[in-house]
């Protein structure tokens, strides 16, 4: 019979966390801080993974990072500039977008743009300080569940046994495939990102030209440049373009080579799309697109809605449960909301574990589905467009932004309500 959590709390309760990405480390930290449960993390790679180059974390996620005690350290490393400037490829400014100040006023938190490596560094530093065990080079290959415990078996033949297990192993989750829901498969979103981090000393830019986020719409997709560090010593750019599913096959070395080739192809598409760029802005964009040394390639995969999130003693969190398009910048914040809710349920409930997971699922699904749909819609702006359609889109956007400012629609907080949401206020 499944034990109650009050029983579990009296004994030395252990949770296995599969995956040492943002959600795995955040889950371990919060369980360590707020419950009597001892987390042990197993990560397949030999070091923390840093896919994505740099990420944006909006106010709903930042508020939770403050509660975890990490916000101040992250803010010392990342950029907090919030302005968004939209450009046409010809070099004129379409308008400015304020997607932050309404939610900032209500939460006290704006937006943080930070290198993935800095985020992981701060998370791992906190895990070390908290004495959390992290085992690197342990790839999960099998799960066995008995009456009292669950066992994870790794590719090197080692095992870990615990009271329950959290699948924090990302969009291609082994916990999901091996045990929780083998039916659901990641789907290619139709959009591929290439990106690079560029030291600013490599690229003398007129002062102030690149503060905040600068988005340029091209016929082949969206090109964006932003600062990624507090000292602005590095810029991050990404280009999102619609492209057919890139089939990556063979060994991981072979796949890496194919990714480099795909990155070169996408960079060529970007160079071509920027040919019509004019003036100082056009030169600047071409300079970024042509001279960046290390360009990474990332086809965006998401999970279809409606998958199963838990089975027996295993629960999926973060991308393993609800991987969404990155275009709403909510992946990490969604993962943080997941772990905060779970810690509350584990801490307060005297329910059997299966009921904790069930309640978690009921509370969490509507919110993640809402954000998932918004992110999917934003991804549509990356689709290829002909010159007339692009011109029309720019005209419509210019008028919308003008009306937005003239009618002071900012006060309605359109698009910003989801960033004010506080998972800790969710009734249990
Ligand atoms: C290009 C791009 C841009 C993005 N931009 C943003 C952004 O601006 N803001 C934002 O909030 N989010 C963004 N995201 C989304 C964000 O990266 C994810 O939501 C977030 O990384 C999810 O964290 P996670 O820990 O669930 O999964 P992951 O970060 O994928 O971590 C999973 C971990 O599990 C490990 N693992 C996998 N399989 C196994 C196994 N079998 N055994 C053991 N370990 C395993 C992996 O090695 C990895 O370390 C972006 C994503 C991409 C691709």
Please state, in angstroms and rounded to a whole number, the distance separating the CA atoms of residues 419 and 101.
11
Q: Say how many Å lie between the CA of residue 335 and the centre of ligand 1.
A: 10
Model confidence pLDDT, tens digit, residues 80-127: 988 888 888 888 888 888 888 899 999 999 999 999 999 999 999 999
Residues 6+ apart with CB under 8 A from 275: none
Is there a domain that residue 106 lies in? no
Asked if 291 and 407 sit in the same domain, the reply is: yes
Is any ligand 1 atom within 6 A of the Cβ of residue 155?
no
Sheet holding 159-162, edge to edge: 140-145, 150-154, 159-162
Residue range 323-336: mean pLDDT, rounded: 93
Is there a domain that residue 18 lies in? yes
**Cα-flanking dihedrals φ and ψ of residue 205, to 5°?**
-115, 135
Is there a domain that residue 196 lies in? yes
CB 170 within 8 A of CB 216: no
Looking at the predicted structure, is the pLDDT value of residue 2 above 60?
no
Asked if 180 and 297 sit in the same domain, the reply is: no
Q: What are the distances in angstroms from CA 394 to CA 91, 211, 224? A: 12, 22, 16
Tell me the pLDDT band of 340, cut-offs 50, 70 and 90: very high
Asked if 228 and 267 sit in the same domain, the reply is: yes
Domain range spanning residue 197?
A: 188-301+381-412
More confident residue, 348 or 337: 337
Q: Say how many Å lie between the CA of residue 83 and the centre of ligand 1.
A: 26
Asked if 349 and 387 sit in the same domain, the reply is: no
Among the atoms of ligand 1, which is closest to the Cα of residue 49? Answer: 49
Residue range 20-33: mean pLDDT, rounded: 97
Is any ligand 1 atom within 6 A of the Cβ of residue 160?
no
Is there a domain that residue 424 lies in? no
Asked if 207 and 270 sit in the same domain, the reply is: yes
Is any ligand 1 atom within 6 A of the Cβ of residue 167?
no
Tell me the pLDDT band of 361, cut-offs 50, 70 and 90: very high
Is any ligand 1 atom within 6 A of the Cβ of residue 58?
no
Please state, in angstroms and rounded to a whole number, the distance separating the CA atoms of residues 122 and 77.
10
Looking at the predicted structure, is the pLDDT value of residue 321 above 80?
yes
Residues 6+ apart with CB under 8 A from 167: 18, 19, 173, 174, 175, 176, 180, 314, 315, 316, 317, 320, 321
Among the atoms of ligand 1, which is closest to the Cα of residue 195? Answer: 1
Is there a domain that residue 141 lies in? yes
For the chain, give the percent of residues with pLDDT over 70: 90
Least confident of 140-144, 218-222, 407-411: 407-411
Is any ligand 1 atom within 6 A of the Cβ of residue 328?
no
Asked if 38 and 142 sit in the same domain, the reply is: yes
For the chain, give the percent of residues with pLDDT over 90: 50
Tell me the pLDDT band of 396, cut-offs 50, 70 and 90: confident
Residue 251 confidence (pLDDT): 62
Tell me the pLDDT band of 392, cut-offs 50, 70 and 90: confident
The residue whose C-alpha atom lies closest to atom 49 belonging to ligand 1 is: 21
Asked if 206 and 242 sit in the same domain, the reply is: yes
Looking at the predicted structure, is the pLDDT value of residue 309 above 90?
yes
More confident residue, 150 or 195: 150
Asked if 74 and 41 sit in the same domain, the reply is: yes
Residue 1 confidence (pLDDT): 41
Residue 250 confidence (pLDDT): 59
Q: Say how many Å lie between the CA of residue 124 and the centre of ligand 1.
A: 15
Tell me the pLDDT band of 252, cut-offs 50, 70 and 90: low
Residue range 400-425: mean pLDDT, rounded: 84
Residue 150 confidence (pLDDT): 97
Q: Say how many Å lie between the CA of residue 386 and the centre of ligand 1.
A: 33
Please state, in angstroms and rounded to a whole number, the distance separating the CA atoms of residues 64 and 71.
8
Model confidence pLDDT, tens digit, residues 261-303: 777 777 788 888 888 788 888 888 888 888 787 888 888 899 9
Looking at the predicted structure, is the pLDDT value of residue 68 above 90?
yes
Is any ligand 1 atom within 6 A of the Cβ of residue 335?
yes
Residue 346 confidence (pLDDT): 92
91: left (phi over 0), alpha (psi -120 to 50) or beta: left
Q: Say how many Å lie between the CA of residue 242 and the centre of ligand 1.
A: 21
Least confident of 255-264, 370-379, 387-396: 255-264
Q: Please state the domain count of the chain.
A: 2
Is there a domain that residue 90 lies in? no
Is any ligand 1 atom within 6 A of the Cβ of residue 49?
yes
Q: Say how many Å lie between the CA of residue 273 and the centre of ligand 1.
A: 29
Please state, in angstroms and rounded to a whole number, the distance separating the CA atoms of residues 300 and 303.
10
Residue with tokens 């490599």: 202
Model confidence pLDDT, tens digit, residues 27-53: 999 999 999 899 999 999 998 876 668
More confident residue, 218 or 323: 323
Residue 248 confidence (pLDDT): 63
Residue 337 confidence (pLDDT): 98
Asked if 35 and 153 sit in the same domain, the reply is: yes
Looking at the predicted structure, is the pLDDT value of residue 7 above 50?
no
Assign residue 268 the CATH number of its domain: 3.30.9
Looking at the predicted structure, is the pLDDT value of residue 5 above 60?
no
Among the atoms of ligand 1, which is closest to the Cα of residue 19? Answer: 34
**Cα-flanking dihedrals φ and ψ of residue 117, to 5°?**
-65, -35
Please state, in angstroms and rounded to a whole number, the distance separating the CA atoms of residues 174 and 49.
16
Assign residue 49 the CATH number of its domain: 3.50.50.60
Looking at the predicted structure, is the pLDDT value of residue 6 above 60?
no
Among the atoms of ligand 1, which is closest to the Cα of residue 141? Answer: 41
Is there a domain that residue 98 lies in? no
Asked if 33 and 67 sit in the same domain, the reply is: yes
Asked if 385 and 375 sit in the same domain, the reply is: no
Looking at the predicted structure, is the pLDDT value of residue 4 above 50?
no
Residue with tokens 């560029």: 198
The residue whose C-alpha atom lies closest to atom 53 belonging to ligand 1 is: 52
Among the atoms of ligand 1, which is closest to the Cα of residue 113? Answer: 8
Is there a domain that residue 110 lies in? no
Among the atoms of ligand 1, which is closest to the Cα of residue 56? Answer: 8
Q: Say how many Å lie between the CA of residue 319 and the centre of ligand 1.
A: 6
Is any ligand 1 atom within 6 A of the Cβ of residue 13?
no
Asked if 350 and 390 sit in the same domain, the reply is: no
Q: Which of 55, 301, 328 to mutate to test the pocket of ligand 1 (most atoms within 8 A of CB)?
A: 55
Q: Say how many Å lie between the CA of residue 234 and the centre of ligand 1.
A: 22
Average pLDDT, the chain: 87
Is any ligand 1 atom within 6 A of the Cβ of residue 21?
yes
3-state secondary structure the chain: CCCEHHHHHHCCEEEEEECCCHHHHHHHHHHHHHCCEEEEEEECCCCCCCCCCEEEECHHHHHHHHHCCCHHHHHHHCECCCCEEEEECCCCEEEEECCCHHHHHHHCCCCEEEEHHHHHHHHHHHHHHCCCEEEECCCEEEEEECCCCEEEEECCCCEEEECEEEECCCCCCHHHHHHHCCCCCCEEEEEEEEEEEEEHHHCCCCCCCCCCEEEEEECCEEEEEEECCCCCCEEEEEEEEECCCCCCCCCHHHHHHHHHHHHHHHHHHHHHHCCCCCHHHHHHHHHHHHHCCCCEEEEEEECCCCCCCEECCEEECCHHHHCCCHHHCCHHHHHHHHHHHHHHHHHHCCCEHHHHHHHHHHHHHHHHHHHHHHHHHHHHHHCCCCHHHHHHHHHHHHHHHHHHHHCCHHHHCCCCHHHCCCHHHCCC
């Amino acid at each position: 019979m499944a034990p109650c959590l009050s029983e579990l709390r009296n004994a030395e309760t252990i949770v296995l966390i599969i995956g040492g990405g943002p959600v795995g480390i955040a889950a371990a930290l919060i369980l360590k801080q707020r419950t009597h449960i001892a987390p042990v993390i197993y990560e397949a790679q030999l070091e923390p993974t840093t896919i994505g180059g740099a990420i944006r974390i909006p106010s709903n996620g930042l508020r939770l990072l403050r509660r975890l005690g990490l916000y101040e350290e992250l803010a010392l490393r990342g950029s907090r500039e919030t302005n968004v400037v939209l450009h046409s490829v010809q070099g004129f400014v379409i308008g400015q977008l304020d997607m932050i100040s309404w939610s900032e006023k209500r939460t006290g938190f704006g937006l943080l743009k930070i290198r993935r490596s800095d985020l992981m560094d701060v998370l791992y530093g906190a895990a070390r300080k908290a004495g959390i065990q992290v085992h690197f080079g342990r790839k999960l290959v099998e799960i066995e569940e008995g009456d009292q415990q669950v066992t994870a078996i790794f590719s090197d033949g080692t095992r870990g046994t615990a009271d329950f297990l959290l699948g924090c192993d990302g969009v291609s989750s082994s916990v999901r495939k091996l045990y929780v829901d083998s039916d659901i498969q990641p789907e290619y979103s139709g959009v591929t990102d290439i990106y690079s981090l560029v030291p600013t000393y490599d690229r003398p830019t007129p002062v102030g030209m690149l503060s905040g986020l600068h988005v340029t719409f091209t016929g082949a997709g969206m090109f964006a440049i932003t600062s990624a560090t507090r000292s602005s010593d590095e810029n991050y750019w990404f280009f999102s373009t619609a492209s057919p599913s890139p089939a990556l096959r063979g060994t991981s070395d072979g796949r890496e080579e194919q990714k480099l080739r795909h990155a070169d192809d996408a960079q060529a598409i970007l160079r071509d799309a920027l040919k019509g760029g004019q003036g100082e802005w056009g030169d600047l964009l071409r300079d970024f697109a042509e001279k960046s040394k290390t360009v990474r390639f990332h086809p965006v995969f998401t999970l279809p809605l409606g998958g199963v999130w838990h089975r027996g003693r295993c629960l999926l969190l973060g991308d393993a449960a609800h991987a969404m398009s990155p275009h709403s910048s909510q992946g990490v914040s969604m993962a943080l909301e997941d772990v905060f809710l779970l810690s509350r349920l584990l801490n307060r409930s005297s329910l059997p574990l299966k009921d904790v997971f069930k309640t978690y699922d009921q509370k969490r699904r509507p919110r993640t589905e809402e954000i998932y749909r918004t992110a999917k819609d934003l991804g549509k702006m990356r689709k290829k467009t002909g010159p007339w359609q692009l011109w029309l889109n720019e005209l419509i956007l210019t008028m919308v932004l003008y009306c937005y400012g003239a009618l002071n629609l900012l006060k309605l907080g359109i698009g910003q309500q989801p960033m004010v949401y506080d998972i800790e206020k969710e009734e249990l």
